[in-house]
Amino acid sequence: MRTVKQIFGIALLAATTLTSCSKDKIEPDVIIPLVYPSTQDFNNIKNQALADLVQNATFNAEDGLSFTSIKGTQVFITAGCLMQGGSPATGAAELTFVEVFDKASMLTANKATMGVLPGGDRGMIISGGEFYINVKQNGNQLDLTCPMSVIIDASLTGGADPAMTLWDGDVDENGNIVWREQDGTGAGGVQGDGSEYYANFPNFGWTNVDRFYSDPRPKTTLGVKVPVGYDDANSAVFLSYDGEDNAIAALDTFDHATSIFSEHYGQIPVGLEMHVIFATENEGDWSWAIMGVTVAADDLYDFTGVALTTGSQSQLEAAILALP
């Protein structure tokens, strides 16, 4: 891992004196523009982090599925519940499975825990696990005609919480996700029992076991100013609330005129202790800076001129997991 002082804007090389012809002639300063990461550069490292989490299994579609993940999540699909083109699927089928439980993996895989509030604003949600489940056959999507049964180890996120519900994840073209609570009228649902969650997932895709973060203190908006040359296409800003290990907020609005990311919904508790994380890409690695703060009303946190640490995905994740 290396810590690099980033000089934003231009880099100046020292002038050199030419000794030929005229001793008074000075070579002018050479201006070297910095090369900032592209959108694709940044997307590549996020996509790689997500790919590292993928688990696969092959099974006979007509027999249903019984699968246990690396972290002990159990997924069951009843025989006869998979269809292709309106007919029961038969033969080999391929499961794609992802599970995310900690805020470090949520950040690097770009799966922050931001839920849509009833009025359309977004707020922090606390996760009992994020899951992607899908089944295809020869590259063709299979349809699920009855809910999957999923058993989740609740001890991975601090124990079963009776307030948890199921949420569906909507992913945009850049992999950014927002979570929408299921309405509870369908076949899905979750309940906690001791050290486990028992859930019925009604659909393939991204599903989260969640509840809204709750804090009675007055709320505020805030801004985070990033260095010139960075924006919401080649960098991101996250908020890690102290004491919350299985949630991370992402700022979803960027002003190009001011280089400021903002939490403009007014959902941040005044007095909250948290860490602001600026993350970007640097020559195939992650580059980041972390700032510990106590929130005051209408705060602006400034990362211009701040030293960035550049290192591997695992080094960034270790730094995040070390936060309080």
| 78 plus 95 within the same structural domain | yes
Question: Does some domain include residue 31?
Answer: no
Q: Which amino acid is present at 131?
A: F
| 175 plus 146 within the same structural domain | yes
Question: Does some domain include residue 29?
Answer: no
pLDDT reported for residue 1: 52
pLDDT reported for residue 185: 67
Give, as one character, the DSSP assignment of residue 304. Answer: T
239's CB contacts (< 8 A; 6+ apart) are 124, 248, 249, 250, 251, 263, 268, 274, 275, 276, 277
Q: Which domain holds residue 288?
A: 215-321
| 160 plus 108 within the same structural domain | yes
Please give the distance of CA 194 from its chain centroid, rounded to a whole number: 28
pLDDT reported for residue 33: 44
Question: Does some domain include residue 37?
Answer: no
| 57 plus 85 within the same structural domain | yes
Q: How far is CA 107 from CA 39, 96, 233, 246, 316, in A?
A: 17, 21, 15, 11, 10
Tell me which residues of the chain have a pLDDT lower than 50: 2-33
**Domain end among 212, 236, 268:** 212
Residue 129 is part of a domain; what is its CATH number? Answer: 2.60.220.30
Give, as one character, the DSSP assignment of residue 201. Answer: E
Question: Does some domain include residue 35?
Answer: no
Number of domains in the chain: 2
**Domain end among 162, 179, 212:** 212
Distance CA 152, CA 207 (A): 12
| 271 plus 179 within the same structural domain | no
pLDDT reported for residue 188: 78
- Alpha helix (H) residue ranges in 54-135: 103-108
Residue 272 is part of a domain; what is its CATH number? Answer: 2.60.40
**Domain end among 212, 242, 265:** 212
pLDDT reported for residue 184: 75
| 196 plus 71 within the same structural domain | yes
Distance CA 150, CA 62 (A): 19
Question: Does some domain include residue 165?
Answer: yes
Question: Does some domain include residue 220?
Answer: yes
| 171 plus 230 within the same structural domain | no
Distance CA 61, CA 75 (A): 14
Would you say the pTM of this structure is higher than 0.85? yes
Question: Does some domain include residue 99?
Answer: yes
Question: Does some domain include residue 34?
Answer: no
